[in-house]
Amino acid sequence: MKKKVLTLGLGMGLILGITMSGCGSENEEGAEGAPAGTTEQVERAEGEGESGANPFGVGPIQEEMNLPSEIDEQLAAKGEEIFKAKCTACHKIEEKYVGPPIKGVTERRRPEWIMNMILAPEKMIQQDPVAKQLVLEYNGAIMANQGLTEEEARAVLEYFRKIDTQS
């Protein structure tokens, strides 16, 4: 009898409960351009660019990425490998699980936002209105910081783009 976990998943994640994140003082530096979401913003959080919100999200990626339309297959394969090792405990491709499904994430979110959610989830779930809304929607499950490097996150992003190209 052998059944493996389906690798269905999603691009953002679960991460830490806001109140639990131990190193809280980081957040005091303020979310540049991303004030805490108002009710209205939260409700419309699916969209981007609400007044005041930084469409890139909060985190290390603050330059527009300008991705080529072609998928880099090699990079996507590497991303798939990383995703399977580090992300599938919480994300499935096609269905809601602990966190949102991966499929469609590159259509829902900007690539910079996805990168920041992977690289700096603690900041995102405290400061980015969309990420905050997702934590609420997912019953307080926070996106875990799995310690990916920027290069690794970029590979995972490429895998997500490939998924969305195929669909």
Partner 1 sequence: MMRKWRHTVLVSAIALTVLHGCGPKKESAKKNGGALDKASIAERVYVPPGEWDEFYAFLSGGFSGQLSVHGLPSGRLFKIIPVFSVDAEKGWCFNEETKAMCMTSYGFIPWGDLHHPDISQTNGELDGRWVFVNENNTPRVARIDLRYFETVEIIEIPNSAGNHASAFVTENTEYVVANTRFAVPVPQRDMPINQMKGNFKGAATFIKVDPETGRMSIAFQVLLPGFNYDLAHPGRGKSHGWMFFTSYNTEEAHTMLEVNASQNDKDYIAAVNWKKIEEYVNNGGGKKMKVKAAHNIYDEKTQMARTEWITEVIVVDPREVPGAVYFLPTPKSPHGCDVDPSGEYIVGSGKLSADITIHSFSKMLKAIEEGKVVDTVYGIPVLDFNATLAGVVKNACLGPLHTEFDGKGYAYTSCFITSEVIKWKLGDWQVVDRHPVYYSVGHIMIPGGNSRKPFGKYLVAMNKITKDRFLPTGPELCQSAQLFDISGDKMVMLLDFPTMGEPHYAAGIPAEKVVDRVAKIYPLEENEHPYAAKSEDEVKIVRKGNEVHIYMTMIRSHFAPDNIEGIKVGDKVYFHVTNLEQDFDIPHGFAIIGANTAEVLVMPGQTETVVWEPKAPGVYPFYCTDFCSALHQEMQGYVRVSPADADVPMKITLDDKPIGEVIIE
Q: Which is nearer to partner 1, 1 or 49 (CB)?
A: 1
Q: Which is nearer to partner 1, 3 or 39 (CB)?
A: 3
22 part of the interface to partner 1, by CB under 8 A: yes
Residues in contact with 125: Cβ distance below 8 Å, sequence separation at least 6, in sequence order: 15, 16, 18, 131, 132, 134, 135, 142, 143
20 part of the interface to partner 1, by CB under 8 A: yes
Contacts (CB under 8 A) with partner 1, residues 103-142? 139-142
Contact 128, 54 (CB under 8 A): yes
77 part of the interface to partner 1, by CB under 8 A: no
d(CA 71, CA 22) in angstroms, rounded, equals: 38
5 part of the interface to partner 1, by CB under 8 A: yes
Rounded to a whole number of angstroms, the minimum distance from the CB of residue 55 to partner 1 is 26
Q: Which is nearer to partner 1, 36 or 85 (CB)?
A: 85
Rounded to a whole number of angstroms, the minimum distance from the CB of residue 31 to partner 1 is 16
CA distances from 83 to 25, 26, 146 (A): 30, 27, 10
Determine the longest span between alpha carbons in the chain, in angstroms. 53
Q: Which amino acid is at 60?
A: P
- Residue whose pair of structure tokens reads 């995703």 in the numeric block: 83
Note the residues at the interface with partner 1 (CB under 8 A): 1-6, 14-20, 22-23, 25-26, 84-86, 88-90, 97-98, 139-142, 144-147
